[in-house]
Amino acid sequence: MQNCTRVSLFALVLAYSAAAAAAAAAAAQTGDGVRESVREQVLVAQKNAQISSAARLDSYLAVIPVDSPLTLLSVDGLEQFLTSLSFNENGLVGYSTEAIASELSYSQAHRLLSLFGAERTLRLMPGLRVENEVDLDIHRSYVQSGELVEDHMGYRCVARATCRESTEFVCMSGC
């Protein structure tokens, strides 16, 4: 009878270990699945942004709205920002942060980057001003969020799937 109890206990421990291992594997797959789902959402946002290519940028600039967030940048800042933009089939994949970080608040930068589906990169940009509650809310929601997408500050998209070191640039997912 004692052997039967040991065997039952051993079987129970084995079953529990197998269930725990299966649960851990499922959790890891779920985490990877969430990360992949977020990455897909990011790429969809980039591809379908108001400005997702050089041609769409040209069209936008031809009839730039008076309330466009691009008008928040100085003339020099706007030129510097526009000449830094990198596009591919995934939309915007890189840009310089220099003018944005030195001239805009969080809410202004959010409006500007939203044109390109790139607002998530705010978390990579130090130096943005906090001028009001909206700025503070945006700062909290982006800067303090976890990294589920691979965007890289200090790198520039130079070719498909190739980021190279470059100060003041962001190389985005989809490069």
Region of residue 7 (left: phi > 0; alpha: psi -120 to 50; beta: else) = alpha
Amino acid identity for residue 48 in this structure: N
Which residue range(s) make up the domain with 133? 1-175
Summarised one tens digit per residue, pLDDT across range 39-86 is 788 778 888 999 999 999 999 999 999 999 999 999 999 999 999 999
Q: Considering the entire predicted model, what is its pTM? A: 0.74
Query: Are the C-beta atoms of residues 170 and 95 closer than 8 Å to each other?
Result: yes
What number is the average pLDDT over the span 135-148? 77
> How do residues 14-42 score in pLDDT, each as one tens digit?
333 333 333 334 434 445 666 677 778 87
pLDDT digits (tens, 9 = 90+) for 87-127: 999 999 999 999 999 999 999 999 999 999 999 899 888 88
For the cut 80, the answer to whether the pLDDT of residue 10 exceeds it is no
Q: What confidence category does residue 5 fall into, taking pLDDT thresholds of 50, 70 and 90?
A: very low
> How is residue 113 written in tokens?
């980057």
Count of domains in the chain?
A: 1
